[in-house]
Amino acid sequence: MAFLGGNILPPGFDIHTIFAGITGGLLFIAGLLQLSNKKYSQKRDRNHQHDEPGLIRALFLFCYTCFFKPHSGSSKASQQGALESFYASQAAVYDVTRKILLKGREDMLALAAAQLLHKAEKEGRNAKNKRIWVDVGGGTGWNIEAMAQFVNVPEFFSAVYLVDLSPSLCAVAEKRFSRLGWTNVKIICQDARKFRLEDYENGLSGPGSPGLSTPPSYFSQKRPEHGGADLITMSYSLSMIPDYYSVIDSLTSLLSPDGLMGVVDFYAQSKVDFTYRNWTGGLIGRHVNYLSRTFWRAWFDLDRVALEPARRDYLEYRFGTVLTANLRNNALGAIPFYIWLGCHKKPFSSSSLPHEIIERIDALATESPYLLPSDSNTKKQQNIITAKLTRAIERTAPEIRSKAFDAAVQNLSANLPLPSFFYQNHHWRIYYDDQLQKHTQFNDEYIYAFTWEDSRVDRDILKLGRDDVVLAITSAGDNILSYAMQSPARIHAIDLNPTQNHLLELKVASFTALPYPDFWKIFGEGKHEDFRNLLITKLSPHLSSRAFQYWLDNSSIFTNVKGRGLYDTGGSKYAIRVFRWVSYLFGCRTAVKEILASKTLIEQREIWKSKIRPALLSPLVSNLIVSTEAFLWKALGVPKNQLAMIEADHQQSQAVTENLAKNTRAHAIWHYMVNTLDPVVEKTHIATDNPYYLVCVTGEFSKRCHPDYLSRVAHTKLSQPGAFDGLRIHTDEIDEVIARIMPGTLTVAIVMDSMDWFDPDSTAAGRQIRKLNRALKMGGRVLLRSSALEPWYIKEFEGNGFRGMRVGNRKVGECIDRVNMYASCWVCTKRENLPPPTPETEGEGENRGTGTGEVDVWSL
């Protein structure tokens, strides 16, 4: 848990002395700052203050012991002797001097506790009361006492074992738990490699179990594949263990089949080491630049603390990754450290074998009937039905596998852990390779913080039922949650941008774990001062590792007092900021407030026409900002092909009126804005019934005006256990996902305005339409919106087995919906199957630009 001193020989003005001076100075200054913090003095237990030296004296003792005192070890030249040489004189001040240095310990404990509590809640009455925790390298027992912030340690754990090799630190731990009166904590001063739970716990099998009259031969002893510890933790101890391979190996036989392991430690690693690994749980912040990693490795090496990558790499190789985070200790020069939660490499389960888990996740991603839902009447009936469906599907279609299955097979064949998605508590998020350029192109930023689709209109058009299997573009996830309110059998949410899916994951996890007041603050107001704590203690068990890392890294979005919150983030923030700047520039801020305070549409229209419209829809704003291609893409998500459709419609309308002088892009965009915004103000009351524009104006929703998913009724429904069992979140192109979904299984596909993005001169739109045809059942529907009144690709739909019907079009002075951003809305219904695909129809050999292969499937 702390530094292990090197052989430091005073005096001498060498590099070590320089490092010592810098470290001592940093720690001394940080200590004085902490001393002045009232919280620090309040947290200290008055009952044992007299046992510890004052903070200033402790810091001086720490600096002397770490950087100037010679450490010769013992005469036996053992690891224990070296430890004692270092710790014996500073054991009493250990905890005081490590509060600033050893960051992340509370976070690791909180994450571990959250996982254990979720497991206990899930098991309910069947949850076992006997939980065992082993803290390896536990030192003074600080970790165990700190865990009391998150669970009642004496009641939650039947036994806690602190295993450490330093007698001096163990003696401090003995005093700590004697003072606390925690009788379930046992201090074991022993080499972690030799520690056996069966030597101390009745009922655990093993060579040292009580009741064995004659111990077996030493050479015949074989450690089991797994043990009985529900939790194993290591806090800043892995980097100090010389023989770390054998220690990590021994931990596998300590951990129970469904146990959890938590580690926090220093590290320094280059992206060259881990870039092509898919089992690390995400790479946000993991790379340490050359100068930093060289400096920190050299610095820590002087005190025998090893930051070489192999320790963390081997840990991740021997176990499966549940959650991980890469952080910096900014109080002391941005020292890199990581938090890692893991489990057994093989996904043990009381009810399933590893291959069954992989097959089930594969079936969930592909809509395969090979595996049925768990709510079948009996196991016998399930087997009969499964056998029939298996034979049927084998006759009609080739085998379809998800990318998750391909990755799992590849890893298992190489004896590697599975990707972290397989070790999550929920299988909402489907595996994806986050290092592909098609994902990294977004630079870890979502475009939409809220969805620009009117969920009320979608609900009225689609009328989803319990048998519907829906495929939809994620965007900000608001629409996905609206569909979930209608309880379809399955929802496949798709987005190429990983961060859009991170946002949806956060919303789903918040439904699952948070009460309505917290949920509202995060997504209604867009800010929550305690978001980071909620993320770690409540939300983490319900997030994939990548999503957890993203929101941990961006928690300031919600917690920054000076920030504007969630809805001033993402690419769409530029449009909102332009409106804010224009309103300031033209002195319209008071008018904006007046619109929000207006009681009637008549009042709202008058304020708009006289005070706001002349500024926002001025030719100056349109020409200099809105009509620029960069702004349209970055702020509004309008690609060049969609922009071309807007211009084409404008040219046609101008040709009809013979006003060819105004046939420019700037005027086309201005005209489109007028047709969008004027009807919105004329027909919808923004403050009470148009949340899409309310959030643009205010940066938050209100209790009386918000999307459907933010209502208390929605929270009551979607916070029920199993509410999202039918959700699958795919991070990929639509083409890639529907090519790997069993033919004839979808009933509804909602593609928003994505078809506008295709090049009319390319065959890409036709290929996607044909794949949609194969994925949909007969009578299945595709709902789409377009910036054009008559999109060119409707003929492609009609030529590939669909019947197109326009269910909404934007007329002059009228709204197509409350957003009114699109010119038309269409439903294309499948009326016939297509013939089997050929290389010609599928464009084989063309450069599709996806970087991945596609699987073509066909069902009669």
Query: Which amino acid is located at 739 in the chain?
Result: A
At 529, the pLDDT band (50, 70, 90 cuts) reads very high
Most confident among 9-18, 335-344, 675-684 (mean pLDDT) = 335-344
Q: Of 147-151, 168-172, 642-646, 701-705, where does mean pLDDT reach its minimum? A: 642-646
Does residue 385 carry a pLDDT above 60? no
State the residue for tokens 């910036």: 787
For residues 711 and 690, give the distance between their C-alpha atoms in angstroms, rounded to a whole number.
14
Average pLDDT value for residue range 225-239: 91
| CA angle (590 as vertex; 586, 593 as ends), nearest 5 | 125
d(CA 501, CA 749) in angstroms, rounded, equals: 18
- In 3D space, the residue among 334, 105, 83 whose CA is nearest the CA of residue 234 turns out to be 105
Distance set, CA 112 to CA 26, 339, 538 (Å): 31, 10, 11
Residue 260, pLDDT score = 97
Highest mean pLDDT out of 185-194, 406-415, 427-436, 545-554: 545-554
Q: What is the total residue count of the chain?
A: 860
What is the rounded average pLDDT of the residues 801-807?
Answer: 96
Cα–Cα distance measured from residue 509 to residue 539, given in angstroms and rounded to the nearest whole number: 6
Q: Which residue has the higher pLDDT, 394 or 503?
A: 503
pLDDT exceeds 90 at position 658: no
Report CA 245 to chain centroid distance, whole Å: 30
Q: Is 378 or 256 the better-scoring residue by pLDDT?
A: 256
Could you tell me which residues come within 8 angstroms of residue 689 by beta carbon, excluding any fewer than 6 positions away? 705, 818
Our CA dihedral for 282, 284, 290, 295, rounded to 10 degrees, sits at: -100
In this structure, which amino acid lies at residue 851? G
Please state, as a whole number, how many other Cβ atoms lie within 10 Å of the Cβ of residue 441.
9
Per DSSP, the three-state class of 301 is helix
Question: Distance (Å, rounded) from C-alpha 179 to C-alpha 719?
Answer: 42
Which range among 298-312, 344-358, 698-712, 762-776 shows the weakest confidence by mean pLDDT? Answer: 344-358
Dist. CA 518–CA 536, nearest whole Å:
14
Instruction: Supply angle C-alpha 589, 594, 599, rounded to 5.
Output: 160
Alpha helices, DSSP H, located in 36-141: 38-43, 55-67, 79-87, 94-98, 105-123
Distance CA 630, CA 361 (A): 40
Which residue has tokens 């030719």?
A: 619
What's the average model confidence in pLDDT over 1-14? 36
Q: Give the DSSP H/E element, type plus range, for residue 804.
A: strand 802-809
Confidence of residue 857 (pLDDT cuts 50, 70, 90): very low
Rounded Cα–Cα distance for residues 792 and 755 (Å): 10
Bridge partners of residue 20, in order along the sequence: none
Question: Count of CB atoms within 10 A of residue 580's CB?
Answer: 19
Listed residue (596, 594, 597) closest to 610, CA to CA: 594
| 49: number of Cβ within 10 Å | 10
3-state helix, strand, coil in the chain (%, to 5): 50, 10, 40
Give the distance, in angstroms, between the CA of residue 275 and the centroid of all CA atoms in the same chain: 19
Q: Is 95 exposed, middle or buried (0-12, 13-18, 19+ CB in 10 A)?
A: buried
Q: Which residue has the tokens 């524009």?
A: 693
Q: The tokens of 794 are what?
A: 């409707």
Residue bearing tokens 């929550």: 528
In tens, the pLDDT along 260-316 reads 999 999 999 999 989 889 999 999 999 999 999 999 999 888 777 899 999 999 999
Bigger pLDDT: 715 or 16? 715
Instruction: State mean pLDDT over 578-589.
Output: 79
Identify the weakest region by mean pLDDT among 1-10, 235-244, 439-448, 635-644.
1-10
Which pair of tokens denotes residue 821? 């951003």
Residue 175 burial (CB < 10 Å; 0-12/13-18/19+)?
middle
Strands 319-329 and 335-344: antiparallel
Helix, coil or strand: residue 148: helix
The DSSP annotation for 396-420 comes to HS-----HHHHHHHHHHHTT-PPPG
Structure tokens at 722: 């199993």
Give pLDDT, residue 578: 75
For 729-776, write each residue's pLDDT tens digit.
Answer: 999 999 999 999 999 999 999 999 999 989 999 999 999 999 999 999
Residue 280 has, within 13 A of its CA and on its CB side, a CA count of: 24
State how far the Cα of 191 lies from the Cα of 166, in Å rounded to an integer.
Answer: 9
How much is the average pLDDT of 346-360? 60
Model confidence pLDDT, tens digit, residues 785-800: 999 999 999 999 999 9
The pLDDT assigned to 463 comes to: 96
Q: 335-344, 398-407, 660-669: lowest mean pLDDT where? A: 660-669
**SS3 (DSSP) at 135:** strand
Average pLDDT over residues 14-38: 47
Q: 597-602: which pairs have CB atoms within 8 A and are 24 or more residues apart?
A: 597/687, 598/685, 598/687, 600/685, 601/682, 601/683, 601/685
Q: Which residue has the higher pLDDT, 171 or 386?
A: 171
pLDDT of residue 332: 84
Q: In the prediction, which pLDDT does 40 show?
A: 39
pLDDT over 70 percentage in the chain? 74
**Can you tell me the mean pLDDT for 534-555?**
97
What per-residue confidence (pLDDT) applies to 323?
Answer: 97
For residue 687, pLDDT over 60 is answered with yes
Spatial CB neighbours of 256, under 8 Å, sequence gap ≥ 6? 132, 226, 227, 228, 229, 230
Nearest to 250 by CA among 190, 209, 309, 210: 190
Q: What is the pLDDT of residues 79-106, one digit of tens each?
A: 665 555 555 556 555 666 678 888 999 9
Pairing of strands 255-266, 335-344: antiparallel
Is 502 in contact with 689 (CB distance < 8 Å)?
no
pLDDT digits (tens, 9 = 90+) for 128-160: 678 999 999 998 999 999 999 999 999 999 999
**How far is it between the farthest Cα atoms of the chain?**
105
Which pLDDT belongs to residue 125? Answer: 67
CA distances from 638 to 240, 645, 669, 754, 821 (A): 54, 11, 11, 10, 11
Helices (H), 328-378: 354-366
Whole-number pLDDT of residue 366: 81
Task: Give the least confident one: 65-79, 355-369, 575-589.
Answer: 65-79
* 357, 431 Cβ separation under 8 angstroms: no
Lowest-confidence pick of 69-73, 499-503, 588-592, 600-604: 69-73
Mean predicted confidence (pLDDT) in 555-569: 94
573-585 and 691-698 are packed helices; what angle lies between their axes, rounded to 10 degrees? 60
Residue 846's nearest CA partner among 753, 747, 766 is 766
Phi, psi dihedrals of residue 451, rounded to the nearest 5°: -90, 130
- Say how far apart CA 543 and CA 555 lie, in whole Å: 14
* Separation between Cα atoms, residue 397 and residue 743, nearest integer Å: 8
Q: How many helices (H) and strands (E) does the chain have?
A: 38, 14
Cβ–Cβ contacts within 10 Å for residue 594, how many? 17
Over 90: is that where the pLDDT of 781 sits? yes
What letter does residue 136 receive in the DSSP assignment?
E
Which residues, in sequence order, are bridge partners of residue 160? 133, 185
One-letter identity of residue 749: A
Using one digit for the tens of pLDDT, what is the confidence trace for 393-407?
344 445 688 888 888
**Whose structure tokens read 């319209």?**
588
CA–CA dist 153, 637 (Å, integer): 51
Phi and psi for 147 in degrees, rounded to 5?
Answer: -60, -20
Comparing 184-188, 303-307, 543-547, the range with the smallest average pLDDT is 303-307
| Residue 167 to residue 592: CA distance in whole angstroms | 69
Share of the chain above pLDDT 90, in %: 55
Residue 27 carries which side chain, given as an amino acid letter?
Answer: L
Dihedral sign for Cα atoms in the order 12, 15, 20, 22: positive
Q: Which residue has the higher pLDDT, 33 or 273?
A: 273
Least trusted range by pLDDT, from 147-156, 224-233, 630-639, 822-831: 630-639
pTM score, whole prediction: 0.85
Q: For residue 92, which of 192, 176, 7 has the smallest C-alpha distance?
A: 176
Is residue 47 predicted with pLDDT exceeding 50? no
